Amino acid sequence: MVSIRKELKEYGFTPRKRWGQHFLVDRNILNKVIRTAQLDQSDIVLEIGPGLGEMTLALARHVKKVIAVEIDPKLVKILKEKASNFSNIMIVEGDVLKINFEQLYDQANQPLKGVANLPYQISTPLLFRFIESRDLFSSLTLMLQREVAERMMASPGGKNYGPLSIFIQSASVLSIPFYIKPSAFFPPPKVESAVVHMIWKEVPRMASEEEEWFKKVVKGCFSYRRKRLSNALKHADMDLPQDLEQRMRRIGIDLERRPETLTIQEFVHLAKALRS
């Protein structure tokens, strides 16, 4: 792997804190990420935050096409120069939170595979975007802050358990294949990272028309996660049925419990009970 420090110096480029720029400098980690993504020559990959393009060029040797989205115009110029000999790399300048995933999917004419070293400050909103757009992706392999990865995997009752855990686990099968030390990046971040691999569940926990209401119930409850469920529901912005207590008894959920103790399946039952 080319020395990132040397390359940055040659290009006169300084990593920008505002965009969370931490460049992967460990070739072994890069290869492990690519293996984790389970790629083949028919795949089209959406890479987010390609940086100096080390991952981009490596991906291009394994897949049909790489669509690399980069927000920094200086890096876009460098990437286009480095990728000039690759016919299967498309560099897109823009904010990934605003990129039209559906348009990329239509152009590809097949589900995309996401591979990314996510800037920490956009990882959570981007994960919610991926959930909303999951029909457009067959899998996601993401490097992100260890804390966020552990929130994604959290179980009921813990401080990390919340809407992110519930929405991701209800829609996907996910794993954390390995963690990454700060020394694998330049400049090194202050925290450890993790690689998360996600594939979507073939059979969803609920019908698509029920999903928005389910999310509203979960978010409403967790807006008051330390309150009892009865108080959390009363403070949430929802129209509650007059026979709330009877409905809760029917589904076997105690209104004295705190929202953070409910399992995903109990939230599914709760949403249905409050809606019907």
Q: Are 186 and 102 contained in the same domain?
A: yes
pTM: 0.90
Domains identified in the chain, total number:
2
Residues linked to residue 146 through DSSP beta bridges, in sequence order: none
Domain end: 143, 166, 200, which one? 200
Q: Are 142 and 255 contained in the same domain?
A: no
User: What pLDDT sits at residue 183?
Assistant: 94
Q: Are 139 and 111 contained in the same domain?
A: yes
Q: Are 101 and 55 contained in the same domain?
A: yes
User: What pLDDT sits at residue 45?
Assistant: 98
Residues spanned by the domain of 215 = 208-275
- pLDDT tens digits for range 73-116: 999 999 999 999 999 999 999 999 999 999 999 999 999 999 99
Q: Are 57 and 138 contained in the same domain?
A: yes
CATH number at residue 100: 3.40.50.150
Q: Are 21 and 158 contained in the same domain?
A: yes
Q: Are 130 and 232 contained in the same domain?
A: no
Cβ-count burial 56-72 (b if 16+ within 10 Å, e if not): bbbbbeebebbbbbbbb
- pLDDT tens digits for range 223-240: 888 889 988 888 888 888
Q: Are 131 and 267 contained in the same domain?
A: no
Domain end: 160, 184, 200, which one? 200
Q: Are 118 and 238 contained in the same domain?
A: no
**Peptide bond just before 111 cis, omega within 30 deg:** no
Q: Are 172 and 225 contained in the same domain?
A: no
Instruction: Spell out the residues 6+ positions from residue 273 whose beta carbon is closer than 8 angstroms to its own.
Output: 247, 248, 250, 251
Take residue 192 and report the two structure tokens written for it.
């450890």
- pLDDT tens digits for range 19-36: 888 889 899 999 999 999
CATH number at residue 221: 1.10.8.100
Domain end: 200, 223, 238, which one? 200
Q: Are 186 and 221 contained in the same domain?
A: no
Residues linked to residue 144 through DSSP beta bridges, in sequence order: 194
DSSP secondary structure string, 180-214?
E-GGGEESPPSS-EEEEEEEE-SS-SS-HHHHHHH
- pLDDT tens digits for range 158-171: 899 999 999 999 99
For residue 1, name the pLDDT band (cuts at 50, 70, 90): low
Phi, psi for 94 (deg, rounded to 5): 165, 170
Q: Are 174 and 261 contained in the same domain?
A: no
